Structure 1
Amino acid sequence: MQDLVGHEESLADQHGLYEDRKITWEEDVDARFRAIEADPTVLIIGGGQSGLMTAARLRRLGIRALIIEKNAHVGDSWRQRYPNLTLHTPADHSSSTHASSTFPKYIPKGKLANFLDSYAVDHELCIWLSSRVQSTPVYDSSSARWTVEVQRGDRTVFLNPKHVVLATGSGRPRIPTWNGMDEFQGALYHSDFHKDAEQFRGKRVVVVGAGNASADICHDFVAHGAAEVTMVQRSATCVVSSSTMEQTHFKSPFPDGTPIEEYDFHTNSLPLAFLLQLNLSGGAQQIKMLDKELHEGLSKVGFNLTWELSPGSGEVGLLGFVFNRLAAGTMLDIGCGKLIIEGRVKIKQGQDISHLDKDGITFKDGSKLSADVIVLAYGLTGSFSLVALLGNEITEQLPPKVWGLDSEGELNQIYRPSGHPGLWFAIGGFSISRFFSKHLGLQILARELGIA
């Protein structure tokens, strides 16, 4: 479905002359924002790419949408992350439109944050910054409205939207608990809080985890002169080089200048379950062959590789991990693989951690790694950890999983009815948010028109 007849997505009436020049553009925007703030039809919690793109779609459909964002600036969720972070997917695939000619192929986090900020301004989105939900939202089935208590700066505001969209990202940092964590005398922190490798020049570093964040951070420590960098790989990782991924998944079949809507339609025209079946039927093997040299080098130094979600389940490749686990357990290699092969990043493989002491980590097999710095690249809790925000009563009405493939091979609960009236989830990377935000907007519009 592309549009609802008579309610097509459009801003054609925005010709720039407001009430025959009786008011200015600034006054028009201010009046529209005041109307949204007084009675938002949709409250979007989270001002990252998913929340912003959903709000932009709703605006084009004439639906009042208010975003609340916990950070002080749009884009801070990217801006505040580790210094050397870039997107691991090409700019053409990862922006909200075809990438600007000023974008490098792999967009640095600061440039991406600035882009999101400008996107919010360009699309005239109504956003409350430094704002968060203060208590569990309450749904009134008789009025079909929510009551949401929002802390906006030093003020408490109660809102009554018809729809709440959760666009809160991939969850909170997952931090394990081991005996002796309080005894360790060095620096110990989650990868989400990695800021400055330079301050640890000449130090011994252990990064626990073997996914994308771990690879980036290990690379950062090597680049800034750490004395020794060790990656702890507890199980196995699905590794694909960025060049292979670009060649097999991100290379557009269309000539330059093709509207991105056509690109997105083509990309999403095949069912996800069918794409995974293609991988199971030999597609993953073909992709592996392109990275044969990389994989052989990693294996020789003890790095454990996999293309299966579980042993014996079949090789679904990186896409299987993306669609089922939000890419947990994968490494889209942009350089760390070479450092591992060269021995500049050492590998400690296959052993669980027993405890920490004052100067390092002891594993359950009795082996030990001395460390001045321990970084926990354990990923995030996942968007499906919802009890803290929604409470038990609402959470119990929802299916057990957000994200991952359902029995029909579609992504669970995102950009579609959640199982609870007036509650929606907007989650995913740029291409997913760009395409599916339109379909979420159409579903909300249909309900507002009384035809769904």
Structure 2
Amino acid sequence: MSDTTAVPSFDHRAVMGDWVAAFDCALSTGDTRAVAGLLGADPWWRDLYALRWDISTLRGAVDICEFLDERLAASGFREVRLDDRHAVSFPEETYIEAVINFTTRVGTRSGVVRLLSDKSGAWRAWTISTSLQELTDRPFQQVKISDIEQDAATASAMSAEGEARHAAGGSRGRAQADDLNPSVLIIGAGHCGLFLAAHLKRLGITTLLVDRNKQVGDNWRHRYHGLVLHEPKWSAQFPYMSFPETWPLLPNKDMIADWMEAYARFLDLRVWTAAEVTEAVYDTVSGSWTVVVDRGRQRCVLSTKQLVFATGNHGVPQLPDIAGAADFTGTMTHSSEHQGGPSLRGLDVVVVGSGSSALDVAQDACDQGAHVTLVQRGPTHVVSQRAAIPAFHGAYYGESGPSIEEADLMATSMPTRLTFELIPHLTRSLAEADSELLFGLEEAGFATTLGPDDLGIMYMTFVRAGGYYLDRGGAQLIIGGRIAVRRAQIERLTATEVVFEDGMRVHADMVVCCTGYTNMRDAARPILGDEVTERLATVWGLDDSGELRTAFRHCGHDRLWFLAGGFRDARIYSRYVALAITAVEAGIVDSASLAAASATTVKG
């Protein structure tokens, strides 16, 4: 972390060093009252699988000290030190920030401490984060120069295995013995599944990915034309295999699809493609899952200890129930199945929805020469990419940013609920920067919003899971009149028209419904059955502490996980899930204790 701020009138490094020493002393004696004296007026603590096998946020000295009273002795939290690899910084001369290292009974950890000066001039903790980095007894495997001493026969056997797999069609070859009894079975070989499998491979855990697409990457390859990442490439990096420096700021869908396919091959991940999991039953006695996989002509029954759903943070596509849909002679589809492209030229396209997918689909159709009408059912939070990307990603994820490891540590150190309290100011600042754009949209009949309490993109992402748009050109097409906007409800369809409740009719050759999805757990229902699914928490949304519910956390059912999120979050949080799964498989923690630690996630 580079320290480019002005030199303060005091030694901020010494201040942080003194605080860390006092903090370590209080912990070593179990004196949580002394810890309370080191906390500010409104302190926050975010723990990511370090002291408790869950993601937790504590606010206030009372809750933090109760947490420490409960977890201090059991976790063995001790030996807190400044990490000398990272500079102690003084951002805008507002707070002092430093990276810390510490140990526990089961592994090594890192964290971030931020100090604020109180009215008396004393520097006390504003935020503390603690995160699990590695298990002492099951470290991440690393290639070493001493590996040259590896037995030649072992090396030859490994080479022969790789050649055999390649000859058999790589990931699409016949079922092998290791495939039929993996420790972990992951449903879905999108980025969440791939990242988790990569981490587990380094931890020595046998893992099989099962995906119904013909090729890894098809979940991006077959999306609508014109789709690009909505975050800069540095934020979306894959673990252990970074994008080339020559890639554009926002890689397109085909680049991502091909990278995912190469990732699975180069990291030698076991993947069954063109395969679908049809049933999974848990045996409480053996603590294992029996999983049925349909591979076309082959029906396979597998046994696995841990089952992971990595099918995206959406469930089943939701198509609106529109009267007359059966009479419509054009094409009506959900955005998840829409590909767009040159075939749209000259068509009358009606896009239902006004979030990111809807605006992307509308922009592509317009660029292809279609006549586009956008049906807006509610106001949309709009931020230009020009304003949003530097504001949300520039501090850590850019061409001159820190290492991806440090960036991820810093980015996850702020509690989500605290970010919610800070975000309204940024939301209003971005709206001011985009004032001309937002005014133009309103004048064109497109309704915008800053979200409840000006929470902007944080609310739309973590609570609503939609309803926002990072503008990359679609807004100007609306302002310029090339995309027409209708803010009326659809009454019915005729053979060739969309009829609105106000009586207006729009000719349509195609209706694309960008109308969202059911909850992710509904994707598990056909596999797990109604009885199990109904006992699961919903996936996504915030729990009482402000953390995402269920995603990358225990879901309340033994040895069952759900992974969902964008590239950055998947890269970061899949590592914690991999460590938790490994801890269970290695006997470091029993699965019942892990479920109990995250019992709050099953609420809601």
TM-score w.r.t. structure 1 length? 0.93
How far residue 47 of structure 1 moved from its aligned partner, in angstroms, is 0.2
Aligned to 1:395: 533
Q: Deviations over 1:198-253 (max 9, x none)?
A: 23322322111111111111111211212x21100011111111111111101134
Aligned to 2:581: 444
Q: Deviations over 1:39-88 (max 9, x none)?
A: 20000000000000000000111111110011111000000111211112
In 1, Cα distance between equivalents of 2:484 and 2:293? 47
**Correspondence 1:49 to 2:191:** yes
How far residue 3 of structure 1 moved from its aligned partner, in angstroms, is 0.9
2:521/2:533 contact within 8 Å kept: no
How far residue 446 of structure 1 moved from its aligned partner, in angstroms, is 1.2
How far residue 379 of structure 1 moved from its aligned partner, in angstroms, is 2.5
Aligned to 1:247: 390
Aligned to 1:165: 308
Aligned to 1:423: 560
How far residue 24 of structure 1 moved from its aligned partner, in angstroms, is 5.0
1:50/1:427 contact within 8 Å kept: yes
How far residue 34 of structure 1 moved from its aligned partner, in angstroms, is 4.3
Aligned to 1:65: 207
**Correspondence 1:374 to 2:511:** yes
2:498 pairs, out of 322, 337, 361, with 361
Residues 17, 292 of structure 1: alpha-carbon distance in 2 compared, 3 angstrom cutoff = farther
In 1, Cα distance between equivalents of 2:570 and 2:463? 17
Aligned to 1:112: 256
In 1, Cα distance between equivalents of 2:434 and 2:148? 53
In 1, Cα distance between equivalents of 2:525 and 2:536? 11
Q: Any idea what SS the aligned residue of 1:404 has? A: coil
Gap regions ≥5 residues in structure 1: none
Q: Any idea what SS the aligned residue of 2:152 has? A: coil
In 2, Cα distance between equivalents of 1:43 and 1:11? 23
Aligned to 1:333: 471
In 2, Cα distance between equivalents of 1:251 and 1:16? 42
Higher mean C-alpha displacement, 165-174 vs 48-57: 165-174
Q: In the alignment, residue 264 of structure 2 is paired with which amino acid?
A: A
Map 1:50-449; keep pairs closer than 5 Å.
50-97=192-239, 98-135=242-279, 137-169=280-312, 170-226=314-370, 228-253=371-396, 256=400, 258-280=402-424, 282-308=425-451, 313-326=452-465, 328-349=466-487, 351-385=488-522, 386-399=524-537, 401-449=538-586
Q: In the alignment, residue 415 of structure 2 is paired with which amino acid?
A: P
In 2, Cα distance between equivalents of 1:187 and 1:416? 40
In 2, Cα distance between equivalents of 1:116 and 1:198? 26
Residues 148, 30 of structure 1: alpha-carbon distance in 2 compared, 3 angstrom cutoff = farther
Higher mean C-alpha displacement, 286-295 vs 64-73: 286-295
1:16/1:25 contact within 8 Å kept: no
In 2, Cα distance between equivalents of 1:36 and 1:55? 15
Residues 221, 31 of structure 1: alpha-carbon distance in 2 compared, 3 angstrom cutoff = closer
1:171/1:380 contact within 8 Å kept: yes
Percent of aligned pairs sharing the same letter: 36
In 2, Cα distance between equivalents of 1:403 and 1:19? 48
Aligned to 2:98: none
Aligned pairs, number: 442
Q: In the alignment, residue 67 of structure 1 is paired with which amino acid?
A: L
Residues 6, 106 of structure 1: alpha-carbon distance in 2 compared, 3 angstrom cutoff = same
In 2, Cα distance between equivalents of 1:20 and 1:198? 55
Aligned to 1:37: 179
TM-score w.r.t. structure 2 length? 0.70
How far residue 25 of structure 1 moved from its aligned partner, in angstroms, is 4.0
Residues 423, 337 of structure 1: alpha-carbon distance in 2 compared, 3 angstrom cutoff = same
Q: Any idea what SS the aligned residue of 2:134 has? A: coil
How far residue 257 of structure 1 moved from its aligned partner, in angstroms, is 6.8
How far residue 392 of structure 1 moved from its aligned partner, in angstroms, is 1.2
Higher mean C-alpha displacement, 185-194 vs 54-63: 185-194
Q: In the alignment, residue 26 of structure 1 is paired with which amino acid?
A: S
Q: Deviations over 1:117-151 (max 9, x none)?
A: 1111121101111111123x110001000111111
In 2, Cα distance between equivalents of 1:337 and 1:50? 31
Q: Any idea what SS the aligned residue of 2:461 has? A: helix
1:7 pairs, out of 138, 143, 147, with 138
Higher mean C-alpha displacement, 367-376 vs 426-435: 367-376
How far residue 372 of structure 1 moved from its aligned partner, in angstroms, is 2.3
How far residue 295 of structure 1 moved from its aligned partner, in angstroms, is 0.7
Residues 257, 348 of structure 1: alpha-carbon distance in 2 compared, 3 angstrom cutoff = closer
Gap regions ≥5 residues in structure 2: 1-131, 166-174, 590-604
1:204/1:371 contact within 8 Å kept: yes
Residues 187, 152 of structure 1: alpha-carbon distance in 2 compared, 3 angstrom cutoff = closer
How far residue 197 of structure 1 moved from its aligned partner, in angstroms, is 4.0
Q: In the alignment, residue 531 of structure 2 is paired with which amino acid?
A: E
